[in-house]
């Protein structure tokens, strides 16, 4: 007679996938939280990603997304913790990554990675009904202005944007005496999902407190809402000035999550990623 084990959950099984229909259906369970991942299903982004799916029997219980490129790259995880653990064990195994995950998922990650301290993040969102426009004189930035944009961003970021970032996204700026002093733009946009992510918001330190960040973020949001149903953005929970900027435009909190730099157990990467940790700490938007 066969024996039956009661009260023990079968181990999740994980495997790679490129099934965008399957992934989209799972991610849409919380489209605001998974907005980046949904946008990465677009043809322009999908080729730069690797996906894992975990199953309990025939049921999809977790997904993982690694954005490919020089390590460390973004890593998004969603679903049941045992499924996330299986994905990290068998499918997606970066030596180092910037992981975005809900707090309850950290123990599953710590089975495979050393997790650096990091800020609690807030995912905020807005739609047409909630949005409150902020009248101001702003201008849509063009790819030819990428040099000025990067000059501004070098004050707060340690990254360099190509002109295609402006050409493929939506960027607005404000000038004082001809100098670009504030800008906001997009991280990713999904026309298919009618969803977009605002980012790269920065105001020159000499011009903060004047509403410039509100103006440029509002202009980007207004433009995106012409073709998107929801707009999301991330902000550190310990950055009240930035949170207030977004609330002024109608953005509301949707969820809190962790954004951490992680290192595969046994990897030498903690020392090698020190410069990236400094970049990670600086890349937080500072609109004020």
**pLDDT value at 138 more than 90:** yes
Q: Are residues 140 and 218 in the same domain?
A: yes
Q: Are residues 247 and 145 in the same domain?
A: yes
**pLDDT value at 273 more than 60:** no
**pLDDT value at 134 more than 60:** yes
pLDDT (0 to 100) of residue 281: 36
H helical segments located in 196-288: 212-224, 240-248, 269-272, 274-282
Asked if 159 contacts 276 with a C-beta cutoff of 8 angstroms, the reply is: no
CA distance 180 to 192: 33
Q: What is the mean pLDDT of residues 10-17?
A: 90
Higher model confidence: residue 287 or residue 204? 204
* DSSP assigned state of 216: H
**150 confidence band (pLDDT: 50, 70, 90):** very high
186-223: pLDDT as tens digits: 999 999 999 999 999 999 999 999 999 999 999 999 99
pLDDT (0 to 100) of residue 71: 77
Q: Are residues 158 and 217 in the same domain?
A: yes
Q: Are residues 131 and 243 in the same domain?
A: yes
Q: Are residues 171 and 225 in the same domain?
A: yes
Higher model confidence: residue 49 or residue 270? 49
> Which residues are registered as beta bridge partners of 51?
65
Q: Are residues 136 and 226 in the same domain?
A: yes
Among residues 146, 211, 139, 152, the alpha carbon closest in space to that of 180 is found at: 152
Q: What is the mean pLDDT of residues 168-178?
A: 96
**Which of 87, 115, 143 finishes a domain?**
115
What long-range pairs does 155-163 form, CB within 8 A, spacing at least 24? 155/202, 155/204, 155/205, 156/202, 156/282, 156/283, 156/285, 156/286, 157/200, 157/202, 157/279, 157/282, 157/283, 158/278, 158/279, 158/282, 158/283, 159/279, 159/283, 161/200
Domain contains 264: no
3-state class (DSSP) for residue 155: coil
pLDDT (0 to 100) of residue 10: 54
Asked if 160 contacts 170 with a C-beta cutoff of 8 angstroms, the reply is: no
Q: What is the mean pLDDT of residues 10-29?
A: 95
Asked if 197 contacts 47 with a C-beta cutoff of 8 angstroms, the reply is: no
Q: Are residues 24 and 84 in the same domain?
A: yes
Domain contains 4: no
Q: What is the mean pLDDT of residues 83-89?
A: 97
**pLDDT value at 283 more than 80:** no
pLDDT (0 to 100) of residue 155: 61
Express as a percent the part of the chain with pLDDT over 70.
87
* Lowest-confidence region among 112-126, 156-170, 206-220, 240-254: 156-170
**pLDDT value at 261 more than 60:** yes
Q: Are residues 87 and 130 in the same domain?
A: no
From residue 21, alpha-carbon distances to 101, 104, 128 in Å are: 22, 27, 27
Q: Are residues 130 and 243 in the same domain?
A: yes
Q: What is the mean pLDDT of residues 174-189?
A: 96
* pTM, rounded to two decimals: 0.87
Q: Are residues 153 and 90 in the same domain?
A: no
**268 confidence band (pLDDT: 50, 70, 90):** low
**69 confidence band (pLDDT: 50, 70, 90):** confident
Q: Are residues 247 and 154 in the same domain?
A: yes
Q: Domain of 78: which CATH number?
A: 3.40.630.30
Domain contains 288: no
Q: Would strands 195-203 and 230-236 be described as parallel, antiparallel, or unpaired?
A: parallel
**Which of 115, 142, 171 finishes a domain?**
115
* Lowest-confidence region among 56-65, 145-154, 159-168: 159-168
Domain membership of residue 242 as a residue range? 125-254
Q: Are residues 68 and 156 in the same domain?
A: no
Task: Supply 5's token pair.
Answer: 């084990």
């Amino acid at each position: 007679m066969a024996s039956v084990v009661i009260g023990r959950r079968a181990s999740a099984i994980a495997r790679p996938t490129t099934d965008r229909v399957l992934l989209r259906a799972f991610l849409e369970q919380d489209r605001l939280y998974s907005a980046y991942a949904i946008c990465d299903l677009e043809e322009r982004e999908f080729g730069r990603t690797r996906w894992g799916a975990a199953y309990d029997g025939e049921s999809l219980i977790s997904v993982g997304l690694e954005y490919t490129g020089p390590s460390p790259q973004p890593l998004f995880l969603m679903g049941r913790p045992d499924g996330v653990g299986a994905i990290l064990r068998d499918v997606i195994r970066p030596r180092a990554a910037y992981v975005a995950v809900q707090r309850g998922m950290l123990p599953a990650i710590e089975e495979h990675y050393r997790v650096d301290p990091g800020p609690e993040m807030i995912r905020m969102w807005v739609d047409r009904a909630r949005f409150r426009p902020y009248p101001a004189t702003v201008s849509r930035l063009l790819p030819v202005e990428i040099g000025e944009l990067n000059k501004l961003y070098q004050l707060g970021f340690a990254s360099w944007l190509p002109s295609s970032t402006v050409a493929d996204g939506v960027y607005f700026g404000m000038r004082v005496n001809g100098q670009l002093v504030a800008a906001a733009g997009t991280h990713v946009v999904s026309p298919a999902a009618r969803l977009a992510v605002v980012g790269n918001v920065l105001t020159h330190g000499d011009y903060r407190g004047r509403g410039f960040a509100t103006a440029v973020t509002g202009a980007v949001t207004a433009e995106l809402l012409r073709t998107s149903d929801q707009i999301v953005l991330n902000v550190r929970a310990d950055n009240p000035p930035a949170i207030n900027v977004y609330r002024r435009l109608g953005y509301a909190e949707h969820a809190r999550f962790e954004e951490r730099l992680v290192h595969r157990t046994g990897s030498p990467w903690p020392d090698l990623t020190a410069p990236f940790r400094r970049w990670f700490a600086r890349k937080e938007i500072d609109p004020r």
